[in-house]
């Protein structure tokens, strides 16, 4: 690649056009900064659009303390980020774009039905353009130069240029959905600069179970509703989906961290409760109502509504013969073992754990080894379940980093840190 001889100077550079980067660009422009967003792909917001494929929940209505707890090991940091840019702030941001939202029965917050992801993104980009934010697509970040410089490859010309912005924000995503540009290749560039990263691991992904050929043929891709799933001490209610490779569904995704930890010892088991709404005593009472001669398959279907694919599942992972006593069978139906052999690959995961190690950034999310360079979004080592927590985390860290950049530029007073 040819190199441009003229270094270019910009106001503020945002590297990466995902939710965290675009919101930070908006906040910086609203504060009077001249902002340029550099995106390696042909368009910005690709992962934002992908996030809307399975139900476009922007955030969640959960109370603040419970919301922050969704970020597990980074709970204290996210409590601050969420206070700075809360779910209510995210809804207000959407209203500013002309996007009305509502709270669903699950507590998740969605745009109204007529507002598709592409509609939201289009309104957002029009607002950014009105603010004077410049978007440069097909511009890939190649790393740092000495001092504060950034190396940028320009696809259209095949040349490389050098930027010397007053402040830089890196928002290059994690390592899932590589086709959206979130490929994690930036870790090498940061490691070359002496910045420690935590290896990426899949999060919010399917779990692999070695089903028999009979099970795969008989069950295929079927849901199992109103169940509870446990791994270790963590229990999640919801709907399970059987696949040819194993399991998917919200409970599986939410238990990914626990499964991943268990797999470090070589084995992991998900314990399935088929009747989580019944107490043990209630379940035993129902099971004791089986008449002599009535098959268990028919009885479970009629009395407990445990229809297909439950009988096939019991045959697959249960004992050769169902227990004869009601207490033993109740125990099996509420503690059915699903042996997990692994998690799905990174690129199939909805999100990833890993990224820039937290000791590498200060309270403003500025890299300690690169003063004036900030990071936000999935580049940082955090994870959260689906349900609005992932997008909210990206938005909140983007807003927080933008505030830190303004403080670095002398446009925010120190006492405004938690404003």
Residue % of the chain over a pLDDT of 70:
95
Q: What is the DSSP letter of 380?
A: B
DSSP for 312-359, written as a single string: HHHHHHS-SS--SSHHHHHHHHHSEEEEE-EE--GGGSSEEEEEE-GG
- d(CA 199, CA 121) in angstroms, rounded, equals 31
Q: Note the residue count of the chain.
A: 419
Mean pLDDT of 342-352: 93
Q: Does the pLDDT value for residue 343 go beyond 60?
A: yes
Residues 7 and 150 in one domain: yes
Q: pLDDT averaged over the chain?
A: 92
pLDDT-derived band at 418, boundaries 50, 70, 90 = very low
Q: Are residues 332 and 368 in the same domain?
A: no
Q: What pLDDT is stored for residue 52 in this prediction?
A: 56
pLDDT digits (tens, 9 = 90+) for 161-173: 999 999 999 999 9
Residues 320, 386: one domain?
no
Q: What are 59-117's pLDDT values in tens digits? A: 999 999 999 999 988 999 999 999 999 999 999 999 999 999 999 988 999 999 778 88
pTM of the model: 0.89
User: Residue 114's domain is classified under what CATH number?
Assistant: 3.50.50.60
pLDDT surpassing 60 at residue 176: yes
Q: Are residues 215 and 191 in the same domain?
A: no
Mean pLDDT of 184-189: 94
Q: Could you say which of 293, 312, 343 is where a domain stops? A: 343
Do residues 68 and 143 share a domain? yes
Max CA separation in the chain (angstroms): 89
> Which of 319, 343, 367 is a domain's end point?
343
**Tell me: the pLDDT tens digits for 208-237?**
999 999 999 999 999 999 999 999 999 999
Same domain, 126 and 224: no
Q: Euclidean distance between the first and final Cα of the chain, in Å? A: 45
Same domain, 215 and 311: yes
With bands split at pLDDT 50, 70 and 90, how would you rate the model's confidence at 1?
low
Are 280 and 355 contained in the same domain?
no
- 257 & 297 share domain: yes
| C-alpha torsion angle, residues 376, 380, 384, 390 (rounded to 10) | 30
Cβ-based neighbour number of residue 317 at 10 Å: 18
Is the domain of 45 the same as that of 153? yes
Q: How confident is the model at residue 47 (pLDDT cuts 50, 70, 90)?
A: confident
Q: Look at the alpha carbons of 397, 398, 402, 405 in this order and tell me if their dihedral is positive or negative.
A: positive
pLDDT of amino acid 114: 73
What is the C-alpha to C-alpha distance for residues 233 and 362, in angstroms, rounded to an integer? 33
pLDDT for 7: 44
pLDDT of amino acid 53:
60
Contact (Cβ atoms closer than 8 angstroms) between residue 141 and residue 150:
yes
Name the domain count of the chain. 2
Which of 284, 317, 343 is the last residue in one of the domains? 343
d(CA 131, CA 129): 5
- Domain with 245, as residue range(s), is 207-343
Whether the predicted pLDDT of 419 surpasses 70: no
Residue 5 has pLDDT above 50, yes or no: no
Tell me, what DSSP letter sits at residue 44?
Answer: S
Q: Which two tokens stand for residue 136?
A: 């440069």
Token output for 74: 């980074």
Task: Determine the pLDDT at residue 291.
Answer: 82
Residue 252 confidence (pLDDT): 97
The pLDDT of residue 294 is 81
Provide the 10 A C-beta neighbour count for residue 161.
18
- Run of H or E including 71: none
Residues 164, 103 within the same domain: yes
Asked whether residue 315 falls in the same domain as residue 192, the answer is no
């Amino acid at each position: 690649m040819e190199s441009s001889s003229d270094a270019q100077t910009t106001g503020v550079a945002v590297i990466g056009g995902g939710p965290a980067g675009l919101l930070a660009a908006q906040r910086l422009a609203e504060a009077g900064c001249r902002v340029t967003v550099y995106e390696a792909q042909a368009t910005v917001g690709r992962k934002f659009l992908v996030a809307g494929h399975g139900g476009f929940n922007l955030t969640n209505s959960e109370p603040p303390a419970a919301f922050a707890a969704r970020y597990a090991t980074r709970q204290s940091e996210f409590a601050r980020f969420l206070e700075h840019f809360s779910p209510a702030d995210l809804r207000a941001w959407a209203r500013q774009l002309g996007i009305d939202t509502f709270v669903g029965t699950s507590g998740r917050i969605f745009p109204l039905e007529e507002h598709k992801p592409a509609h939201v993104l289009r309104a957002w980009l029009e607002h950014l353009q009105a603010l004077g934010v410049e978007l440069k697509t097909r511009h890939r970040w190649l790393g740092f130069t000495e001092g504060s410089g950034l190396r940028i490859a320009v696809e259209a010309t095949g040349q490389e240029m050098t930027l010397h912005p007053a402040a830089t924000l890196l928002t290059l995503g994690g390592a899932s959905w590589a086709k959206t540009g979130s490929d994690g290749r930036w870790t090498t560039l940061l490691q070359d600069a002496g910045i420690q990263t935590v290896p990426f691991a899949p999060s919010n992904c399917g779990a692999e179970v070695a089903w028999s050929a009979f099970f795969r043929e008989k069950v295929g891709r079927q849901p199992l509703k109103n169940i509870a799933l446990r791994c270790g001490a963590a229990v999640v209610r919801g709907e399970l989906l059987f696949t040819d490779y194993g399991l998917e569904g919200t409970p599986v995704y939410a238990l990914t961290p626990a499964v991943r930890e268990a797999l470090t010892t070589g084995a992991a088991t998900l314990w399935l409760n088929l009747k989580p709404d019944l107490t043990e005593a209630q379940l035993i009472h129902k099971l004791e109502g089986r008449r002599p001669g009535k098959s268990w398959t028919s009885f479970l279907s009629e009395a407990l509504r445990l229809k297909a694919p439950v009988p096939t599942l019991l045959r697959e992972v249960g004992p050769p013969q169902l227990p004869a006593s009601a207490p033993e069978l109740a125990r099996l139906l509420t503690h059915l073992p699903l042996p997990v052999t692994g998690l799905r690959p990174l690129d199939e995961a909805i999100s990833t754990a890993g990224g820039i190690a937290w000791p590498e950034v200060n309270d403003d999310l500025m890299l300690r080894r690169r003063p004036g360079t900030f990071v936000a979004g999935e580049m940082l080592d955090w994870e959260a379940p689906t349900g609005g927590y992932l997008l909210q985390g990206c938005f909140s860290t983007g807003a927080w980093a933008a505030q830190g950049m303004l403080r670095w530029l002398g446009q925010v007073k120190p006492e405004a840190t938690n404003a």
